[in-house]
C-alpha cells in the first residue's frame, strides 16, 4: 500500500477550508492532517504535532500572519515542507513575492479538482508546479530584469553619480556645484538619463535607482 501524501490547509475562511478538505478527501492519494486559520496557528501546530504534512495549501491574505510571511518562515525552519499558494490573488507582484518566499506552486481558488490534484502530485514528487499565469509573470519579470541590466550598462560614471545625487534633496544647481560642472551640463546629464532609462521625471530616476540598488 502506497503512503498517502499528507496535506495541510491554511486559510482563514472556514467554508473554503471545509470545501477544500471535502474535495481532497475524494482522492485516495491524499490525507488532510491539519487545517489552520492563519500562519501563526499553523506554525504553532506544526511545532507541537508529531505529524508532519508533506504539502501545505496556503492562502495569502490572512490575519495575524499572512501566507508570504508564513512561507518565508517555513523556508527557513521547515525546508522540506512544500508550499502551494492557493488564493484569489492573481496580480504579478503577489505571485513573485510568494514564489520568492518559497512557494513551489501557485493556484487560483477557482481551479478544477484535477488541477489541484495534479499540482499536489507534481510539487510533492518533483518540487515545482507553475501554471501559465505564473510562467508568464516569471518571463515578464526576467525580461524586465534583463532590460534594466542593459540600461544600467548604458550609463557612464558621471551619469551614475548624477543619479545618486538626484535622489537627495539637492536642487539641480546644488548638484552642479557638487559635481563641479555648470547647470547646463547637469541639464545634459538629466536629459541623457531620461532618454536612456526611459523616464520623464526625477521621481522616475529615484525609482530606477531603488530598483537597481544604487542608493
User: For residues 152 and 55, which has the higher predicted lDDT (pLDDT)?
Assistant: 55
Q: 5-137 and 155-211 share one CATH topology?
A: no
95 against 135, higher pLDDT:
95
Pick the CATH number of 5-137 from 3.40.50.2300, 3.40.50.360, 1.10.10.10, 3.30.565.10: 3.40.50.2300
| Per-residue model confidence as pLDDT tens digits over 128-145 | 777 666 656 555 655 555
Of residues 97 and 127, more confidence is placed in 97
User: Which cell numbers hold the place of 92?
Assistant: 504579478
Per-domain residue ranges of the chain: 5-137, 155-211
What confidence score (pLDDT) does residue 169 get? 83
What is the tens place of the pLDDT at every residue in 162-192?
999 988 888 999 999 999 999 999 999 999 9
Chain mean pLDDT for the chain = 85
Question: What CATH number belongs to 155-211?
Answer: 1.10.10.10
Amino acid at each position: 500500500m502506497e503512503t498517502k501524501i499528507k496535506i495541510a490547509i491554511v486559510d482563514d475562511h472556514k467554508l473554503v477550508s471545509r470545501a477544500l478538505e471535502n474535495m481532497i478527501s475524494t482522492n485516495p492519494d491524499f490525507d488532510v492532517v491539519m487545517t489552520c486559520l492563519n500562519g501563526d496557528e499553523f506554525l504553532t501546530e506544526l511545532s507541537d504535532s508529531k505529524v508532519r504534512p508533506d504539502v501545505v495549501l496556503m492562502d495569502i491574505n490572512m490575519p495575524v500572519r499572512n501566507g508570504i510571511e508564513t512561507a518565508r518562515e517555513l523556508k527557513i525552519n521547515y525546508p522540506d515542507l512544500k508550499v502551494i499558494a492557493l488564493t484569489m490573488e492573481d496580480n504579478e507582484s503577489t505571485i513573485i513575492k510568494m514564489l520568492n518566499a518559497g512557494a513551489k506552486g501557485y493556484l487560483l481558488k477557482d481551479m478544477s479538482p484535477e488541477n489541484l490534484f495534479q499540482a499536489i502530485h507534481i510539487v510533492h514528487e518533483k518540487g515545482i508546479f507553475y501554471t501559465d499565469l505564473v510562467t508568464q509573470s516569471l518571463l515578464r519579470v526576467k525580461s524586465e530584469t534583463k532590460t534594466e541590466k542593459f540600461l544600467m550598462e548604458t550609463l557612464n560614471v558621471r551619469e551614475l553619480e548624477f543619479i545618486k545625487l538626484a535622489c537627495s534633496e539637492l536642487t539641480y544647481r546644488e548638484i552642479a556645484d557638487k559635481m563641479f560642472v555648470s547647470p547646463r551640463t547637469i541639464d545634459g546629464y538629466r536629459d541623457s538619463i531620461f532618454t536612456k532609462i526611459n523616464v520623464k521625471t526625477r521621481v522616475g530616476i529615484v525609482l530606477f535607482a531603488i530598483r537597481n540598488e544604487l542608493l
